[in-house]
Amino acid sequence: MAKRVLTTESGAPVADNQNSATAGVGGPILLQDQHLLEKLARFNRERIPERVVHARGSGAYGYFEVTDDVTGFTRADFLSEVGRRTETFIRFSTVADSLGGADAVRDPRGFALKFYTDEGNYDLVGNNTPVFFIKDPIKFPDFIHSQKRDPFTGKQEPDNVWDFWAHAPEATHQITWLMGDRGIPASYRHMNGYGSHTYQWTNAAGEAFFVKYHFKTNQGVRSLSADQAAELVGKDANSHQTDLLQAIERGVNPSWTLHVQVMPAADAADYRFNPFDLTKVWPHSDYPLQRVGRLVLDRNPDNVFAEVEQAAFSPNNFVPGIGPSPDKMLQGRLFAYADAHRYRLGVNHTQLPVNAPRTAVVDNYGRDGVHATRNGSRHDKNYEPNSYAGPAQTDAALAAPLAVHGWTGTHEAPAHAKDDDFFQAGELFRLMSEDEKGRLVANIAGGLSQVTRDDVIEKNLAHFHAADADYGKRVEKAVRALRED
C-alpha cells in the first residue's frame, strides 16, 4: 500500500510536521512557515458556540419501522405502510448544563429525532417528560437564565431556580416529574421519550387530528437515586454516553415502541384541559395510546463533532400529513430552534451530511452564504416564478388549515373546564406509592431549603399545597426540618 502523504489545506505536501521553521538553529520562528500558521489558526477555530440549552449530548443512527396502520390519521408517506423503514438519527441530551457537564444529573433529557424520509427530513423534538415548566415561549429565556449559572457566582443558584418557579405556578406539574423517581435516568436507553407538544396529523381525505407522541423504552424504565447518581458522576461523568456507545458497539441495539394519542380536531375546543398547553397531559383514559411502530438504534456516529454537535433539529421541518398545532411553546420553537442553528452552524447548516436529506431531492432558490455547497449553475435562476423550468410550488398544503378568530393582542391561553396549574400535579402525586412520595418530597426539600428568602419558599409551598393538601404538608414539614438543622 502506498504511503499516505500529509498535506496542507491547499494540498501541498508537508516536509516537516515536527519542527517549525526558524531563523537559524535556535532562532525565532519565521512568519513564512505557512504550515505552522495554518495549524494554529485552524486549532483556534475548532470549536463552535455550544448550544445555550441541550449542550451536553449523545447521538446514534437507526431506523423507524411501521408496525401498525395509521393511514386513517395521517398521509405522511413514511408512515403509509406496515413494514416500511426510514433511516433516523437521534440526539439525547441534558438541558441546563454546559458541554462539559455530567450525564447523571437531575435534569430533563432531550429526545430529538430526525427521520430521513423520501419527502424530506421530519424532525421531532421532545424530552423524556410529557410536560414542561412553562406554556408560553416569551418566558423561555427568563426560565433558562434562572436555571443556568448565575452571572456573579458562576454556578447554579437555588435562589434563582426556586424564585422563578415561585412566580410560575404552571411549573408545579413538571417539578413533580423532575423531582420524582424518574428525574435521573439510569441511561439514555432506559428512559421514555415524548414529543411533549401537540402536533397535527392530516389524512388523505383532509381530516385533521391532534396527536401526542410517546416513545416507550423496550429496555424498561430505570432511574437513579440522588446518591447513586452522585457516585456514578464521580466514576464516569460521561456515563450515559459510555453506556449508549458501548451497547451499540456490542450489538445490543436499544429500541423504543412509538405510540400516539389521537384527538379528533373537533374535540379540542371543549376538552376539559387545554390540549395545546405544554404543562398538561391528556389522560390515557380519555385518549388511549395507539401503537405506530418501533425505533431501533444500531449505529454509532464516526465523529461526535460532525454528527452530534453539528446535528440540527428544527420542529418546523414537517412533511406532508404532519403539521403544527396552536401550542404556543411549539409555535415559539418553530422559529427559535432553526435560528439557533443558523447562529451556531451558519445559514447552510442544512447542507451538512448529518442534516441533509438522504433520499429527498433539495431543489430551491437558496444561494450563497458561508459554506454553501449547493449554488446552482449558469442554467439555474435564483428567483421564482421564472420561465426556465425552475422548481415550482405544489399548491398542496402539508397539513390542514387551522381556524383562527378574535382580536390581535397579548392574550392568556383560553381556560378549559379543568385548566388550573395544580390539578394534574396533584393527580401525579396521588398516583405515587408511599416510597415514591417520600423520595419526591426529600428531593424538593433538599433544593427549596437552600433558598435564602422566606417569601420565595412560602410561594413555592403554596403551589404544592394547592396541588394536594398532603403533598404540601409533607414538603413544608421537610423544608422546615432542614432549615432548622
Please, are residues 343 and 335 in contact by the beta-carbon 8 Å criterion?
no
Q: What are phi and psi of 239, to 5 degrees?
A: -60, -40
CA dihedral for 439, 440, 441, 446, sign (positive or negative): positive
Helix/strand/coil (H/E/C) assignment for every residue in the chain: CCCCCCECCCCCECCCCCCCCECCCCCCECCCCHHHHHHHHHHHCCCCCCCCCCCCEEEEEEEEEECCCCCCCCCCHHHCCCCCEEEEEEEEEECCCCCCCCCCCCCCEEEEEEEEECCEEEEEEEECCCCCCCCCHHHHHHHHHHHCCCCCCCCCCHHHHHHHHHCCHHHHHHHHHHCCCCCCECCCCCCCEECCCCEEEECCCCCEEEEEEEEEECCCCCECCHHHHHHHHHHCCCHHHHHHHHHHHCCCCCEEEEEEEEEEHHHHHHCCCCCCCCCCCCCCCCCCCEEEEEEEEEECCCCHHHHHHCCCCCCCCCCCCEECCCCHHHHHHHHHHHHHHHHHHCCCHHHCCCCCCCCCCCCCCCCCCCCCCCCCCCCCCCCCCCCCCCCCCCCCCCCCCCCCCCCCCCCCCCCCCCCCCCHHHHHHHHHCCHHHHHHHHHHHHHHHCCCCCHHHHHHHHHHHHHHCHHHHHHHHHHHHHHHHC
Q: Is 54 a catalytic residue?
A: yes
Find the catalytic residue in 17, 19, 35, 54.
Answer: 54
In angstroms, the CA 65 to CA 87 distance is: 9
**CA-based nearest residue to 92, from 198, 18, 186:** 186
Joined together, the cell numbers standing for residue 83 give: 413494514
Q: Is 465 a catalytic residue?
A: no
- The backbone region for 206, taken as left when phi is positive above 0, alpha when psi lies in -120 to 50, beta otherwise, is left
Give 130's strand partners. none
Please, are residues 119 and 319 in contact by the beta-carbon 8 Å criterion?
yes
Find the catalytic residue in 35, 121, 127, 300.
Answer: 127
Active site residues: 54, 127
